[in-house]
Chain A
């Protein structure tokens, strides 16, 4: 399908750019930034409290991408996934450093999945997206909430413990059980 072909092309382009960045080619780094920063900034912005923190985390993420480009292994992960993991962790670092953050308790879980089931042009893999949606919809409400608040908004076990009124150790157990059943639902591979 067309979206898959586009996604494959972009993956190849990014893999080539990352290889150039590993060779310290600054022009490739600039191009990679131009092509991927909007997606990464959106992911980061959803996690950080302020715009300023998001900007700083984006810079930190790209510095890490610059530093570790030689460690990217295309056999293990797609480039965007690798960069997204880095970006999310820099955003999470930023909010964890900030101590008690203004937990967006007003976030309705359903919002996250609402009709923003992403426009096709931003979805890397439409099929994977549908599969994941199906599996997440099948989860028990609290577990679904925990997984989504953690992944999308960077909530910690402590914050989830307060929101769902469970001890932290229980949150850890529930998260892990939820992850295992997601994996099974998705086909275990």
Chain B
């Protein structure tokens, strides 16, 4: 694309004068074309002093409370969708587990806009009633496990702790899981069919290296494909 044309497109994008389809095109291309992304960033910097002219205006207090509830509503929607789908497939456990793993990918995808690259296995960890609490995805290439919380946060004086539960031998701690999203390095090999569990521990995790509190969520690892 001719230089001037790229600059014009990037500049009008920043000005805000592109029509809807032109703007969607630029936003899509920015991910693939570093030159376009850089041009847009440069235009934004060039014109930023005009934004400064607006000064500062305190937003109303309701702006934050509205934002906070929209954030938890979005997270809640994900749980409701998953719950409904899990109920529908509850009759066949094998089908339910398989469908749940697809839903996990769909939900992660919806949040980010694209599937998690390199995810090899996923698990939905839920309670006894089947309500989902965490979604885990293991990337065997990067040797990481990502945990996303879709349920309630742990009580303020407690931590959730994640455990590998092998078929035989002791459970292995994979660390605490208190944030809404956690990316952890993985020092153990995890395989499909293995069980993950989450227990409630004192703040900071179990002091003994073994679960000291109740196991509240479990889930089985399934291949992502």
Contacts and interface: CB of A to CB of B under 8 A. Distances in A.
A179 B50 contact: no
Interface in B150-188: 179-183
A139 interface: no
B49 A92 contact: no
A85 B71 contact: no
Which of under 10, 10 to 19, 20 to 34, or 35 or more describes the interface residues of B? 35 or more
Contacts of B64: 33, 37
A69 B220 CA distance: 30
Given A23-B179, A112-B53, A84 B17 contact: no
Interface of B: 4, 7-8, 11-12, 14-17, 19-20, 37-38, 40-41, 43-60, 62-64, 66-67, 70-71, 74, 111-112, 179-183
Nearest to B27: A89
Nearest to A157: B17
Given A67-B112, A147-B15, A176-B11, 10 more contacts: A23-B181, A55-B59, A80-B48, A116-B53, A129-B52, A150-B15, A151-B16, A179-B15, A179-B43, A183-B46
Q: Tell me the interface secondary structure of chain B in the complex.
A: helix
Contacts of A133: 49
Given A59-B63, A116-B53, A122-B52, A85 B14 contact: yes
Contact of A154 (B16, B52, B63): B16
Q: Tell me the interface secondary structure of chain A in the complex.
A: helix
B12 A176 contact: yes
Interface of A: 23-26, 33, 37-39, 41-43, 45-46, 51, 54-56, 58-59, 62-63, 66-67, 73, 76-78, 80-82, 84-85, 88-89, 92, 96, 112-113, 116-119, 122-125, 128-129, 132-133, 147-148, 150-152, 154-157, 160, 171-172, 175-176, 179-180, 182-183, 186
